[in-house]
């Protein structure tokens, strides 16, 4: 479980770094994620790189945005199960996702529109062991619909 938690921690760190660098070099994301988690990370990077993003005035702004900080998480619970013949090869990490330290500025220099009521939400993150690559990959993130 510690290896799965470590790769999830790294995934959030790398997502923050990719977005802070402009969102164009997404190769590091493919080394840490697969499936829906990769799609979410790539979509986020694309919106940072090209837009559109909505600013605090509720205006859709095209063009590159700037980011600082990163989204973090606090584990609430974790459990493993068999996956592709590997005991505990699928680890689900139930956690509080915290986006309060992640800031986005749209191309017009204004803060991106955010909902402070949704800055801390509970997610189930699924991390799988890829037997071919012999590494852990973040594969899914599921908003369970609760605040933390």
**Looking at residue 66, which CATH number applies to its domain?**
3.10.450
The whole-number average pLDDT for the span 61-79 is 96
Please, are residues 53 and 63 in contact by the beta-carbon 8 Å criterion?
no
**Distance (Å, rounded) from C-alpha 78 to C-alpha 91?**
7
Q: How many domains does the chain have?
A: 1
Q: Is the pLDDT score of 1 beyond 90?
A: no
Backbone dihedral region for residue 34 (phi beyond 0: left; psi -120 to 50: alpha; all else: beta) = beta
What is the β-pairing status of strands 86-98 and 120-130? antiparallel
Q: State which residues form the domain around 72.
A: 2-147
Q: Is the pLDDT of residue 140 over 90?
A: yes
Q: Which of 131, 133, 127 is nearest to 31 (CA)?
A: 133
Tens digit of each residue's pLDDT (9 = 90 or more) over 18-65: 999 999 999 999 999 999 999 999 999 999 999 999 999 999 999 999
DSSP symbols for 7-35: HHHHHHHHHHHHHHTTS---HHHHTTB-H
The band of 127, judged by pLDDT with boundaries at 50, 70 and 90, is very high
- Please give the DSSP secondary-structure letter assigned to residue 148: -
pLDDT band at 147 (very low <50, low <70, confident <90, very high): very high
């Amino acid at each position: 479980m510690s290896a799965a938690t470590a790769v999830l921690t790294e995934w959030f760190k790398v997502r923050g770094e990719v977005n802070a660098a402009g969102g164009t070099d997404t190769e590091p994301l493919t080394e840490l994620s697969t499936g829906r988690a990769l799609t979410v990370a790539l979509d986020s990077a694309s919106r940072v790189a090209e837009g559109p993003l909505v600013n605090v005035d509720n205006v859709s702004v095209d063009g590159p945005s700037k980011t600082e900080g990163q989204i973090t998480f606090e584990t609430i619970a974790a459990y493993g199960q068999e996956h592709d013949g590997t005991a505990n090869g699928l680890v689900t990490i139930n956690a509080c996702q915290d986006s309060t330290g992640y800031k986005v500025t749209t191309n017009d220099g204004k803060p991106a529109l955010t909902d402070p009521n949704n800055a801390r939400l509970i997610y189930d993150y699924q991390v799988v062991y890829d037997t071919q690559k012999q590494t852990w990959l973040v594969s899914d993130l599921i908003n369970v619909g609760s605040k933390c």
